């Protein structure tokens, strides 16, 4: 049955999280500023109802937040990294406590299924746990000097303020991917959440505030500034913010990257994907179908890792096509908080328009619709944001196929002959985020992962394109932006590297044997 069914339930969740959003717009970790910027109404795509109203921050509010963050950094960076890690450990425990209400709020405000909402909160917990261990492993290297009586090593220092611009589709996890690492590295953070999901951002700040206040963390280590593109522009152009981490569309990323690059700052860009699964002759259909279907329709196709294209060997094409159509017939579309449903709504009516336009463009280019799309109406679909997942036979070179549409549209196409033909098709798009191959042939799997294989930042064998564990670095190449978040050594972008040489001898030899006598 549906978990959240009326406004009263949401009010109770907001109260449990300590939220009275009408006064909110910016926060440095203490009380929220009463801002006088543009009104932002957060409507749920689940039922079209108003969740709450907030007001965007003004430029003056933004300047106040940056000033407070600068002050906090001077104190926070001097706290030993393991001590900072202990604070993050406690944050993970607090998020565990709030997992259910926060997961429900994510689902209700964004529209993803309850299981995915809870899973996103679990990602927050996981990255905090990862960061706690990392706080004792911010390693540098030692090197042998060519000069006698000298020692060389390198170390990492915190950067300062990290600006975070996040997207609506993962309204809490991506923020925490950045903050958990940045905080243990000694940085402070300023977050501009998507104006489409401000209430979940307020919830995260409230939870963080509880933990930070209990540990005496300086005000200004965790900051939130609610607003639209104007706030993002201020962050991108601000020389006081050495790193801007931006998640969203390629168009947005190009704008942010250009502004940050113009001042020689750093940007961490995690942008669009146009992800494909290659299905070879030896693929196990019992794995292909669920992997492809979840990748294509999970989060209503609104993941950057969503499966957009299936590239299927012609010898099994008909069999795979038939299995997919049959699976789509079984999909249930409706309230994402009802766990019997597979597909929830798109984020808003602009997304619905983009979805409809993409289908029409695919048809105009010669695409053949196998599973009809369309907008659902009537009882349970009052928000106007529910659409049918569609399957379209297409060619890889179609202009619409070359672009990412944030909606449940799956393009399927054939390849013939050798695997390299499929790899060429997969790589033949501007984006390079996630990729996968379904095969039981070891040679094909290794070829896909080789230098001549997938050009994406993520390449999987016998799993889909969607979903990633926090232990690995997350991000992609080409128009995906080249950034890496989350696990592995992604922490290094949040720090500045310093090489140190110590002379403990009684002479001053120069490198490369240079003589400078006088």
Would you state the structure tokens that stand for residue 382, as one six-digit string? 């009052």
- Selecting among 116, 120, 219, 270, the annotated active-site residue is 270
Q: Is 385 a catalytic residue?
A: no
Give the pLDDT score at 24: 78
pLDDT confidence of residue 7: 56
- C-alpha to C-alpha distance for 198 and 286, rounded to whole angstroms: 40
pLDDT given for residue 516 in this prediction: 86
- The enclosing H or E element of 105 equals helix 99-110
Question: Which strands form 188-192's sheet, in the order they lie side by side?
Answer: 26-27, 222-225, 188-192, 161-165, 243-247, 266-270
pTM: 0.96
Tens place of pLDDT per residue across the chain (518 aa): 334 445 567 778 888 887 765 567 899 987 788 888 899 999 999 999 999 889 999 999 999 999 999 999 999 999 999 999 999 999 999 999 999 999 999 999 999 999 999 999 999 999 999 999 999 999 999 999 999 999 999 999 999 999 999 999 999 999 999 999 999 999 999 999 999 999 999 999 999 999 999 999 999 999 999 999 999 999 999 999 999 999 999 999 999 999 999 999 999 999 999 999 999 999 999 999 999 999 999 999 999 999 999 999 999 999 999 999 999 999 999 999 999 999 999 999 999 999 999 999 999 999 999 999 999 999 999 999 999 999 999 999 999 999 999 999 999 999 999 999 999 999 999 999 999 999 999 999 999 999 999 999 999 999 999 988 999 999 999 999 999 999 999 999 999 999 999 999 999 998 998 888 87
Give the pair of three-digit tokens for residue 350.
């602009």
Q: Which two tokens stand for residue 446?
A: 């290794």
132-137's contacts with Cβ under 8 Å and 24+ in sequence apart are 132/85, 132/86, 132/88, 132/89, 132/92, 132/184, 133/85, 134/85, 134/181, 134/184, 134/491, 135/81, 135/82, 135/84, 135/85, 135/86, 135/88, 135/184, 136/81, 136/82, 136/85
Question: Torsions phi, psi of 64, nearest 5?
Answer: -65, -40
Q: Where are the beta strands (DSSP E) in 114-199?
A: 142-144, 150-158, 161-165, 188-192
Tell me, what's the pLDDT at 1? 33
Q: Which of 185, 189, 304, 385 is catalytic?
A: 304
pLDDT for the residue 4? 44
Per DSSP (E only), the strands in 304-352 are 307-313
pLDDT at position 347 = 98
């Amino acid at each position: 049955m549906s978990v959240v069914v009326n406004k009263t339930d949401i009010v109770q969740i907001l109260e449990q999280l300590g939220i009275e959003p009408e006064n909110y717009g910016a926060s440095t970790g203490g009380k929220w500023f009463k801002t006088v910027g543009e009104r932002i109404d957060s409507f749920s795509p689940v039922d079209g109802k108003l969740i709450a109203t907030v007001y965007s921050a003004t430029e003056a509010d933004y300047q106040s937040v940056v000033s407070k963050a600068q002050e906090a950094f001077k104190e926070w960076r001097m706290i030993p990294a393991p001590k900072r890690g202990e604070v993050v450990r406690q944050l993970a425990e607090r998020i565990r406590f709030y997992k259910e209400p926060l997961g429900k709020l994510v689902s209700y405000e964004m529209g993803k299924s309850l299981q995915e909402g809870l899973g996103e909160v679990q990602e927050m917990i996981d990255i905090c746990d990862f960061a706690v261990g990392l706080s004792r492993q911010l390693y540098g290297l030692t090197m042998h000097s060519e000069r006698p009586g000298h020692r060389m090593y390198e170390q990492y220092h915190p950067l300062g303020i990290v600006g975070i611009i996040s997207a609506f589709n993962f309204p809490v996890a991506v923020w925490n991917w950045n903050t958990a690492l940045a905080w243990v590295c000694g940085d402070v953070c300023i977050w501009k959440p998507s104006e489409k999901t401000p209430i979940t951002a307020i919830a995260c700040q409230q939870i963080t505030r509880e933990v930070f206040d209990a540990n005496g963390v300086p005000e200004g280590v965790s900051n939130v500034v609610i607003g639209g593109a104007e706030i993002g522009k201020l962050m991108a152009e601000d020389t006081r913010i050495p790193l801007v981490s931006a998640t969203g569309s390629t168009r947005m990323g190009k704008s942010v990257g250009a502004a940050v690059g113009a001042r020689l700052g750093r940007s961490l860009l995690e942008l669009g994907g146009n992800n494909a699964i290659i299905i070879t002759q030896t693929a196990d259909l019992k794995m292909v179908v669920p992997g492809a279907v979840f990748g294509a329709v999970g989060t209503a196709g609104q993941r950057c890792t969503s499966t957009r294209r299936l590239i299927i060997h012609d010898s099994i094409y008909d069999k795979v096509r038939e299995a997919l159509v049959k699976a789509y017939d079984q999909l249930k579309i409706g309230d994402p908080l009802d766990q019997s449903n597979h597909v929830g709504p798109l984020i808003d009516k602009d997304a619905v328009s983009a979805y409809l336009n993409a289908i029409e463009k695919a048809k105009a280019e010669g695409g053949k619709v196998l599973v009809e799309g369309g907008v659902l109406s009537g009882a349970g679909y009052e928000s106007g944001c529910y659409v049918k997942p569609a399957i379209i036979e297409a060619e890889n070179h179609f202009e619409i196929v070359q672009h990412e549409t944030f909606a449940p549209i799956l393009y399927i196409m054939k390849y013939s002959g050798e695997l390299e033909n499929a790899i060429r098709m997969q790589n033949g798009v501007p984006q390079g985020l996630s990729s996968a191959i379904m095969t039981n042939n070891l040679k094909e799997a290794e070829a896909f992962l080789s230098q001549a294989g997938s050009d994406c930042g993520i390449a999987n064998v016998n799993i889909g394109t969607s979903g990633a564990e926090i232990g690995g670095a997350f991000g992609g190449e080409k128009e995906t932006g080249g950034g890496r978040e989350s696990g592995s050594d992604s922490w290094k972008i949040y720090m500045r590297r310093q090489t140190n040489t110590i002379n403990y001898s009684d002479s001053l030899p120069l490198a490369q044997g240079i003589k400078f006598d006088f």
